[in-house]
Amino acid sequence: MIATALARGCASFLALSICTSAALAAGGPAVSHFTLANGLEVVVIPDRRAPVVTHMVWYRVGSADETAGKTGLAHFLEHLRFKGTEKKPGNLFSQTVATIGGQENAFTSSDYTGYFQRVPKERLKLLMEFESDRMTGLVLTDAVVKPELDVVLEEENSRVANNPGARLSQQVTAALYLNHPYGRPVIGWRNEIEKLTRADALEFYKRFYTPNNAILIVAGDVDAGEVKTMVDETYGKVARTTEIAPRQRPMEPEQVAPRTVTFADPRVTQPSVQRQYLVPSSTTAAPGESEALDVLAHVLGGGQNSRLYRALVLDKKIALSSSAWYQGTALDYGTMGVSGVPKEGVTLAQVEDAIDGILAEVIANGVTDEEMKRSKDRLVADAVYAQDSQSTLARWYGAALTTGLTVEAVKAWPDRIKAVTTTAIKDAAGKWFDKRRSVTGYLIKDAPRPGEKRS
């Protein structure tokens, strides 16, 4: 059984409190980057601490590339890619990974789909034989497709349908995008998942799964030369099956009207309020702007020294928690979020007012040098610590390269964070905390009755 992760950019899969765009401290590993004749990009990240390797293949396709009416297809195909090929039928791949003591996983986001394994270094070539084989060799029969659809529907059931917080987030996201496919849930709308077919999956596979739409990332106890040799003998032999057009999605009209969404459910144990603003991503931002948003989010909501936590939890004592985040890893748009969980007896409106007060302060007066320095130090330190994790590093490169950034941009991220100024932060707050570009979501206990006034 594959534990599939659904991710919108990095926010939901990095175990950091703040999701950084992509980071590597100065003095990080000597990353190599090359492209094969068939178009496959390869990134090698040496890490000699243990005799293991992390092997990932990322495809530049996600839920935002689906045809309208087929939401969930990118994720469904991710599941189906574990169903075997002519050469390696059934679940031989997964069995092999398990037999050699490895781990595997896969994940789908709006912009990318990734597959990874971690194995002893001696097994790297074996992995490449399997993974390159299923790059274009997938075989799908109704006998495997139909049961897997039930698996995906059950996943939707447990992750979304029975999770009030996830349902609210899905509705907030749908309301945030008036036109762009980022408004779709990565897992898909249930009414459309139910209708996905083998033919849909195969058509999508043939359209997007080709070496010239993929990035191989190998991190671990290897050097670029060894990897290059193995890659030439495996992935290098996969023919490109199709050409890939530039990813041009329908873009947002000017956003002019603040929106709210209220989700009420008897299973809600803890009401909360969140707001998401539509902002630039690392890929689309003006120079320095995305980094300023990273620091701004940390000053506002990164930990117990943050403005929101101090104001709402410590000083006013109206909230159990309050946070802020910037999700900037995306091809087309980023989001800036703030949230708060009221204490017993406090209304969502009181918490929202307090958050608005903090935002108004930052818009008017910016942040202090001390706040900025503390946040920058922390973000850069997180990037350094992250090098302890092979898979985190590999994911940063994968997410960056599938959303329009470069290896150089990933490497330079800590320096760009260090260069952020208080002026840039104040400007970013003033420009992007614009309620007309936002959706505020309320999670409340109990279902509303028809005709009832919203609370």
* Closer residue to its own copies, CB minimum distance, 38 or 262: 262
Q: Which of 27, 99, 246, 248 binds its own copies (CB under 8 A)?
A: 248
- The span from the CA of 358 to the CA of 308, in Å, is 7
Contact call for residue 334 and its own copies (CB under 8 A) = no
Collapsing DSSP states into helix, strand and coil, what is residue 20?
coil
Task: List b or e across 38-74, with b for residues whose CB sees 16 or more CB atoms inside 10 angstroms.
Answer: bebbbbbbbbeeeebbbbbbbbbbbbbbbeeebbbbb
Contact call for residue 435 and its own copies (CB under 8 A) = yes
* Closer residue to its own copies, CB minimum distance, 82 or 263: 263
- Own/partner long-range contacts of 88-93 (Cβ < 8 Å, ≥24 apart): 88/130, 88/133, 88/134, 89/139, 92/130, 93/130, 93/131, 93/134
- Among 142-150, 166-174, 218-226, 313-321, the segment contacting its own copies (CB under 8 A): 166-174
N-term to C-term CA, the chain? 42
Contact call for residue 181 and its own copies (CB under 8 A) = yes
- The span from the CA of 349 to the CA of 351, in Å, is 5
Contact call for residue 316 and its own copies (CB under 8 A) = no
Contact call for residue 208 and its own copies (CB under 8 A) = no
Contact call for residue 251 and its own copies (CB under 8 A) = yes
- Among 9-17, 27-35, 220-228, 351-359, the segment contacting its own copies (CB under 8 A): 351-359
- DSSP structure string for 80-124: HTTSBBSSSBTTHHHHHHHHTT-EEEEEE-SS-EEEEEEEEGGGH
Contact call for residue 122 and its own copies (CB under 8 A) = no
Q: How far is the CB of 337 from its own copies (least distance, A)?
A: 15
Contact call for residue 163 and its own copies (CB under 8 A) = no
Query: Which pair of structure tokens corresponds to residue 341?
Result: 């969980």
Contact call for residue 254 and its own copies (CB under 8 A) = yes
Q: Which of 51, 90, 101, 250 binds its own copies (CB under 8 A)?
A: 250
Query: Which pair of structure tokens corresponds to residue 183?
Result: 């408004």
- Among 101-109, 134-142, 183-191, 368-376, the segment contacting its own copies (CB under 8 A): 183-191
Q: Is 289 a catalytic residue?
A: no
Contact call for residue 194 and its own copies (CB under 8 A) = no
Contact call for residue 8 and its own copies (CB under 8 A) = no
- Among 105-113, 171-179, 319-327, 368-376, the segment contacting its own copies (CB under 8 A): 171-179
- Among 33-41, 110-118, 176-184, 405-413, the segment contacting its own copies (CB under 8 A): 176-184
* Closer residue to its own copies, CB minimum distance, 178 or 419: 178
Contact call for residue 174 and its own copies (CB under 8 A) = yes
Using CB under 8 A as the binding criterion, the count of chain residues that bind its own copies stands at 50
- The span from the CA of 356 to the CA of 340, in Å, is 11
Write each residue from 123 to 152 as x if it is in contact with its own copies (CB under 8 A), else as -, in one continuous string: ------------------------------
- Own/partner long-range contacts of 117-123 (Cβ < 8 Å, ≥24 apart): 117/54, 117/55, 117/56, 118/52, 118/53, 118/54, 118/55, 118/390, 118/391, 119/52, 119/53, 119/55, 120/51, 120/52, 120/53, 121/51, 121/52, 121/53, 121/220, 121/221, 121/222, 122/51
Q: Which of 171, 241, 305, 389 binds its own copies (CB under 8 A)?
A: 171
Would you mind telling me the total number of residues written for the chain in this entry? 455
Collapsing DSSP states into helix, strand and coil, what is residue 330?
coil
- The sign of the dihedral angle between the CA atoms of 289, 291, 294, 295 is negative
* Closer residue to its own copies, CB minimum distance, 181 or 211: 181
- Among 55-63, 214-222, 286-294, 356-364, the segment contacting its own copies (CB under 8 A): 356-364
Q: Which of 103, 417, 436, 399 is nearest to 257 (CA)?
A: 436
Residue reference for tokens 């496959």 = 40
Sorted by sequence, the CB contacts under 8 Å of residue 142 that are 6+ apart come out as 198
Which residue in 78, 104, 156, 352 is the catalytic one? 78
Residues involved in catalysis: 78
Q: Which residues contact its own copies by CB under 8 A? A: 68-69, 71, 167-168, 171, 174-175, 178-179, 181, 183-184, 189-192, 248-254, 256-263, 352-353, 356, 359-360, 363, 430, 433-436, 440, 448, 450-454
